[in-house]
Each structure stands twice: as structure tokens, then as C-alpha cells.
Chain A
Amino acid sequence: MNTIVSEEPQALSTYPSAQTPRHRPSSWAVAWDVLRRRPTGLLGLAILLFFIGMAAFGPLFYPAELPSNPSNIFAGPSPAHPLGTDFQGTDTLALVITGSRYVLLSAFLAGLFTAVFGTVTGLISGYYLGVPDSIITKLADFVLTIPSFPLLVVLSTVWKFGSPLAMGLVLGLIGWGALARAVRSQVLTLRERTFIEAARGLGFSSVHIIVKEIFPNITSYVAMKFLLAVTGAIYASVALFFLGVLPLSTNNWGVMLQFAFSQAGAMYTTQSLPYLLAPLACILLVTFGVVLFLDAVDEMLNPRLRRG
């Protein structure tokens, strides 16, 4: 199940950040220790870095317009085209690599927007309480209630999501609710803690307390949510293209999937199977990387899950 941004199962584990002192000694050392003991986490990190590299540098190796070859349409794998070609005779591998940028960049931006909107609203709502709290809580409930895919389908009639920024922004705007709620409940616990009370007593401004005292305690939590939001956003953007409600102008994995299904019937012919499987495998790999990495991170932050 892949919610665009959800309160993921991991959130269930009693979260330590709200209980442990805010200055943990050498979190880098803990991280390294866990990653070493859990090589799967390291593998996840490696996968993520690989795809980030692909999206960042991959397109540089190809011309802006990939060459086509009408006499070599839907060719099977060959030395020249390791993953075969598409409807236009364009190399599938090149499409996968150049197409990673839109998907990953929009997913990254969606995660970023989600994290920013969710954290800011959650902090404000949990710290100030009162009117801002009730407004934000209502808004978050509203955003959480509206089913996101039907909403995105409706939005697609007006908005074309041509740039990763537009896609990321929209996904962020409809996905911040869960995080806001979670952050709020963490802040509610934190604000009663002695070090916050002390800061208040010392006359620090509210902004200072929120930014300098409370926020550092939830950064790791927000970072995890950010990663989950990224995977959710990958599905969401790919799924929208897959449904065929968005323009197929940009090259990305979702567009590839849509073409593979609606044009090539790739599921039914072995010849064009790589055209279908390549983007799919990438999506699954990225997710897999995130899951593995998060699993290790979760263990790092939640001592109860650590193997004794």
C-alpha cells in the first residue's frame, strides 16, 4: 500500500526522540554502527545514491533529443540496445536514464514540500495551540480526508504537471496533513518537558524555542517521513501518467509505462517486455532502497527494535 504520504507503520513504535535528551552523543557513530551491523541498510543507501547519481548526471551523457530510428521499432535487446527500443526506435536504456530525472526530482521536491509544510504547520499548531492549532488541525484533517488520486485526476484537467516543480508542489500540498498531525503530537509532548519550560522561563522568544529547542528533536523523525514521502510521490506521479490523464510530453518512467501498456501491449509480447520492465524495475529498486535504508535508520532510532 503506497500512500502518497502516510503515517507509516514505523510511526507506531514509541518514538524515542521525544523522550531522549536532545543532544545525543555522536549520532554519526550510532549511524555507522547500525549500518555496519545491518549491511542491508548500507545496500539501501547504495541503491539510493546510485539513482541520485543517475538522475543528476545520467542525462548529461545523452543529447537533449534522443535519436530515433523508425526502422528499428520495439526491437528486442541487442548489444547496441541492451534493453531494446521503444515505439520510435529510441534506446530504452537511454529513456530510463534520462527519464529518471523528472520522476526523482519531482519526488524529491514533493518530499521536500511535504516535509516543510508538514513540519512548519505541525510546529506552529503544537506549540501555539489555540486558534492557529484548530485552524491547522482542521486543514490537515481536510487534506487527509480527500482521497488523493481522485483529487489528482480532477486537478489534471486543469493543471498539466509539466515541470517537476509543479508536480512536487501539488503532491506536497495534498500530502502534508499526516506529517503535520504527527509533528504536532510530538511537539505536544515536548513542550511540557523541563528543558522547554526552562527556555521559556529564561525568556527566549517562541520562535527561538521552536527553531532551536524543539525542531532539533524531531529532525530525524522528519527526515524519515521525507524519505517515505519521496517513495509515495514516485508512485503518485508514475500512476498519474499511467492513468493517461497527463500529457505524455516529458520523458519519464510513468510515460514509459503508459506507452508500454497502452501502445505496445508490452505485457503480452516478450519482445517489448524490457520496455515495460525497465522503468518498473527502477521504481521497485528505488522503493526497495528506501525501505532497506529506513529499516536500518528505524532501528538506529528505536532501541527496542535493535537485536539484542
Chain B
Amino acid sequence: MRGFLLRLARRLVGALVMIWAVATFTFFLIRMIPGDPVAAQLNMLEQQGMSESQAAARVAGMYGFYPKDPLPIQYLHYMQQMAHLDLGQSISYTGVPVMHIILSALPYTLGLVVTGIILTFIVGVIGGVFAAIYRNTWVGSSITVVGSILHGIPQFMVALLLAYLLATAHPIFPFGAPYDAAISPGITWTFLSNLGLHAVLPIAAFIISGFGFWALAMKASVVTTLGDDFILAAELRGIKPSIRFRYIARNAFLPLFTYLAIAIGYTFGGAIFIEQIFDYPGLGLLQLNSIGVHDYPLMQAAFLMITVAVIVSNIVAEMLYTVIDPRIRTAR
């Protein structure tokens, strides 16, 4: 237990350093963005038919909080704010705290991505085991081929095809909203089922595009394990299939956890496409939209929050791994 906590503490410190680095990076990056968003906003308003003076007054109100201090002071100020979990104010939402907007999007991304990762993992691993055990039959080779092909199709293509086939051409699944607005949110069956229904297509996109990765990884791992001396010897001695299976499962399964970290990062990143295509209101969509309206504080915060989500998920996955794998548990 002490080892576990120590590990956790070390990881948390590392996570804080990483968050600081990402925040610093985006802070300076955003100040390199070309052009003057204020001027663009002014012109947009005039284009909408506002008189020049009206538009100027409006823009002054919108950008009033735009800092005019020198860069290092801005940076210090920004870091101070961050320490208080204040990510500044949104430009496009005129003064609404960015944190408020981010928090409204976070649950959707988390729900989608976490469910996506877990289901993809399960489906992929099962597929991989079959592909390995029956690798010399058509079952195994077709799983391998399908896995390779799915692995090769860009994720956004999978999502677009699903959106077109199952939401437009054959409107079987709803999309465009996280749930029917007529249903009030709460821990009710009606709400949760409706929420789930609206998430089917995005999650399916994750599963289909991620299946290949896990299936191929699991297959390779099982094949390796099958070739282990223990198994070979046991087979010669006529070991019980259940023991053999348990051995294979444990030894082939555990190495896969090392890939979980990558899968987490990748899935959170891929959410940008999935959310955009299915119009699912998560952080990725927020990030994309904020660029369109030049809301850089919001973009910065959305990116930071995605990164934080990845870091936290990684820690959770790692802790889970130490719980599951007795070797690590006892070693510490």
C-alpha cells in the first residue's frame, strides 16, 4: 500500500510539471498568432450592418480585459490565475469564465472517450485471442485481415461513413445532440438510455477504428505466449485446456497494458474528429470552434483540459495496472 501511494504521489508531481509545461507552451504560442483579432471583430460587426462607432464601442466592451502589459507580467498573471483554477474569460462568449464553458464540455468528452477506450479494448482483445488461436484457419486470418484494414482506414473516414450511413441515409441513430432536450437530465433510466443512444455512433467510430490496433497487438502477444517453452512442454504433457488458457490469457494480456497509455492519448486526440463529425459537444469540438471565432483563451483552455484528461487517465490506467499485475504489486 505504501509503495502504491508513493508511486501515485510521484506520478502526480510529474503530472503537475507537465501541465505547467503545456500551459506555458500554449501561453507563448497564442501570443504569436498573426493578425489582430480585434480588428477582425470590428470589421465583422460592421459587415453585419453596425455603424462604425457602434461597432467600436461594442468591441471595446468585448476585449476590455485584453492585457496590454508586457509579456512576462502577462505570463505571471496567467500563472497566478491558473493556480486559482481560473482560466480567464472567453472572448467569443464575452466575459463568461472559460472554466465554466470547459466544464460543460468535459463530461461529454470523458464519457465518450472512456467508454470508447474500454469497449475498444475488450472487443479488440477478444478478436485478437481468436485470431491467434485460430491463426491457421480462415477465422483467424479474416480477423487479422479485417483488423489490418480497419487499422488502415483513417478514423475520420470511419466516422463520416457511420454518420452518413446510419444517421442520414438510414436514420437509425440520432446525432447532433447529446440527448433529447425534452428529457431533463438526471439519474433516470429515460435520460441515461437516451444519452447512451446518442453516443452509439461516436463510440462505434472509436471501436471500429481502434479494433485493429488491439486485435493485432493481442494476436501478436498470444502468438508469442503460445510459443513459450512452458506451453510447449505443457502441451506435450497434455495439460488441461482451462489451465492452458489461463496461462495464455494472463501472460499475453498483461503486456497490452503498456499500450493503454498510447491508446488513451490517441483516443482523446481522435475525439476532435469524432466530436466534429457527430456534432458531439465535447472539448475537441469546443477547441475547433474556438479557433473559428478567434477565441484564443478558450482554445488554450480546451487544449490544456484535453491534455490534463490524458494525464489523469494515464495515472488511473497505471494504478489499475499495478492493482491487476501482482508482480508489480509485490515488487514495490
Report the minimal beta-carbon distance from A151 to chain B, rounded to whole angstroms: 7
Option from A14, A287, A304 in Cβ contact (under 8 Å) with B152: A287
Known: A158-B29, A283-B154. A9 touches B220 (CB 8 A): yes
A166 in contact (CB, < 8 A): no
Q: Check A150–B152 contact: CB distance below 8 A.
A: no
Instruction: Pick the most buried of A146, A283, A287: most chain B CB atoms within 10 A of its CB.
Output: A146
Task: Count residues of chain A with CB under 8 A from any CB of chain B.
Answer: 47
A157 in contact (CB, < 8 A): yes
Q: Check A1–B272 contact: CB distance below 8 A.
A: no
Q: Check B261–A144 contact: CB distance below 8 A.
A: yes
CA A158 to CA B299, docked complex, whole Å: 13
Q: Check A150–B210 contact: CB distance below 8 A.
A: no
**Which residues of chain A come closer than 8 Å to B65, judged between CB atoms?**
none
**Which residues of chain A come closer than 8 Å to B93, judged between CB atoms?**
none
Nearest CB in chain A to that of B227: its residue: A304
**Which residues of chain A come closer than 8 Å to B219, judged between CB atoms?**
9
B140 in contact (CB, < 8 A): no
Option from B32, B149, B259, B311 in Cβ contact (under 8 Å) with A158: B32
Option from B224, B266, B284, B302 in Cβ contact (under 8 Å) with A13: B224
Q: Check A13–B223 contact: CB distance below 8 A.
A: yes
Q: Check B224–A9 contact: CB distance below 8 A.
A: no
Nearest CB in chain A to that of B252: its residue: A12
**Which residues of chain B come closer than 8 Å to A141, judged between CB atoms?**
14, 18
A297 in contact (CB, < 8 A): no
Chain B, residues 244-283, CB within 8 Å of chain A (1/0): the string is 0000000000010011011101101110110010000000
Q: Check B272–A243 contact: CB distance below 8 A.
A: yes
Instruction: Pick the most buried of A150, A153, A245: most chain B CB atoms within 10 A of its CB.
Output: A150
A155 in contact (CB, < 8 A): yes
Classify the interface of chain A: helix, strand, loop or mixed.
Answer: helix
B42 in contact (CB, < 8 A): no
Q: Check B154–A154 contact: CB distance below 8 A.
A: no
Chain B, residues 29-40, CB within 8 Å of chain A (1/0): the string is 110111000000
Known: A1-B155, A304-B223. A9 touches B213 (CB 8 A): yes
Q: Check B287–A150 contact: CB distance below 8 A.
A: yes
Q: Check A149–B269 contact: CB distance below 8 A.
A: yes
A211 in contact (CB, < 8 A): no
Chain A, residues 266-308, CB within 8 Å of chain B (1/0): the string is 0110000000000010011001100100010000000011000
B26 in contact (CB, < 8 A): yes
Report the minimal beta-carbon distance from A244 to chain B, rounded to whole angstroms: 9
B22 in contact (CB, < 8 A): yes
Report the minimal beta-carbon distance from A298 to chain B, rounded to whole angstroms: 9
B164 in contact (CB, < 8 A): yes
**Which residues of chain A come closer than 8 Å to B284, judged between CB atoms?**
150
A239 in contact (CB, < 8 A): yes
CB within 8 Å of B: which A208-251 residues: 231, 235, 238-239, 242-243, 245
Nearest CB in chain B to that of A236: its residue: B154
Option from A6, A150, A156, A288 in Cβ contact (under 8 Å) with B262: A6
A133 in contact (CB, < 8 A): no
Nearest CB in chain B to that of A267: its residue: B164
A147 in contact (CB, < 8 A): yes
B307 in contact (CB, < 8 A): yes
**Which residues of chain B come closer than 8 Å to A304, judged between CB atoms?**
223-224, 227
**Which residues of chain A come closer than 8 Å to B276, judged between CB atoms?**
243
Option from B22, B164, B216 in Cβ contact (under 8 Å) with A9: B216
Q: Check A147–B18 contact: CB distance below 8 A.
A: no
CA A142 to CA B311, docked complex, whole Å: 10
**Which residues of chain B come closer than 8 Å to A146, judged between CB atoms?**
22, 265, 307, 310
CB within 8 Å of B: which A4-37 residues: 6-10, 12-14
Q: Check B288–A145 contact: CB distance below 8 A.
A: no
Report the minimal beta-carbon distance from A273 to chain B, rounded to whole angstroms: 12
Report the minimal beta-carbon distance from B249 to chain A, rounded to whole angstroms: 15
Q: Check B33–A157 contact: CB distance below 8 A.
A: yes
Nearest CB in chain B to that of A178: its residue: B262
**Which residues of chain A come closer than 8 Å to B160, judged between CB atoms?**
261, 267
Nearest CB in chain A to that of B259: its residue: A7
**Which residues of chain B come closer than 8 Å to A280, judged between CB atoms?**
157
Known: A239-B156, A245-B291, A267-B164. A1 touches B263 (CB 8 A): yes
Report the minimal beta-carbon distance from A97 to chain B, rounded to whole angstroms: 21
B60 in contact (CB, < 8 A): no
B118 in contact (CB, < 8 A): no
Option from B14, B154, B209, B303 in Cβ contact (under 8 Å) with A150: B303
- For this complex, 16 residue pairs linking A to B, each with C-beta atoms less than 8 Å apart, are A1-B213, A2-B154, A6-B213, A6-B262, A6-B266, A8-B216, A141-B18, A145-B311, A146-B22, A150-B269, A150-B272, A150-B306, A154-B300, A239-B156, A243-B288, A245-B291
- Please give 17 more A-B residue pairs, beta carbons under 8 A apart, in addition to A145-B18, A145-B265, A147-B265: A1-B209, A1-B213, A1-B270, A6-B262, A10-B220, A13-B224, A145-B314, A150-B306, A151-B269, A153-B291, A154-B26, A156-B291, A157-B33, A158-B33, A239-B156, A239-B273, A245-B288
- B residues engaging A (CB < 8 A)? 14, 18, 21-22, 26, 29-30, 32-34, 148-149, 151-157, 160, 164, 209-213, 216-217, 219-221, 223-224, 227, 255, 258-259, 261-263, 265-266, 268-270, 272-273, 276, 284, 287-288, 291, 296, 299-300, 302-303, 306-307, 310-311, 314
What 7 A-B pairs have minimum CB-CB distances, sorted nearest first? Answer: A147-B269, A9-B217, A1-B213, A9-B216, A287-B152, A149-B269, A12-B220
